[in-house]
């Protein structure tokens, strides 16, 4: 099941089930033919291991994982480790 969650300004977690919107009408073969970057990432012979680090999807995924990590460590560092202001 695909789920997405976002945090509202009131800090309430809002969850949404996206399974009703899923569209399986496009096959891997169609993506392979229509999207050159998909073909390049999907086929082992199309991209060297060294190229993977600079691939757009890899960079976006890493940025998406790194940003929340830094946010979490900031919260721990500033809110839990530092004394509260008086």
What is the average pLDDT score of the chain?
77
Quote the pLDDT of residue 17: 66
Minimal CA–CA distance to 59: which of 77, 36, 41?
Answer: 41
Minimal CA–CA distance to 35: which of 54, 21, 17, 56?
Answer: 56
Distance CA 50, CA 57 (A): 14
pLDDT-based confidence at 67, cuts 50/70/90?
very high
Q: What angle do CA 31, 37, 41 make, to 5 degrees?
A: 90
**Whole-prediction pTM:** 0.44
């Amino acid at each position: 099941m695909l789920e997405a969650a976002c945090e509202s300004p009131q800090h309430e977690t809002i969850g949404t089930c996206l399974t009703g919107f899923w569209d399986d009408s496009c096959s891997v073969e169609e993506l392979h033919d229509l999207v050159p970057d998909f073909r390049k990432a999907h086929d082992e012979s199309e991209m060297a291991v060294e190229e993977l680090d600079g691939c757009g999807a890899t960079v976006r995924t890493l940025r998406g994982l790194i940003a929340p990590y830094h946010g979490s460590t900031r919260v721990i560092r500033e809110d839990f480790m530092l004394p509260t202001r008086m």
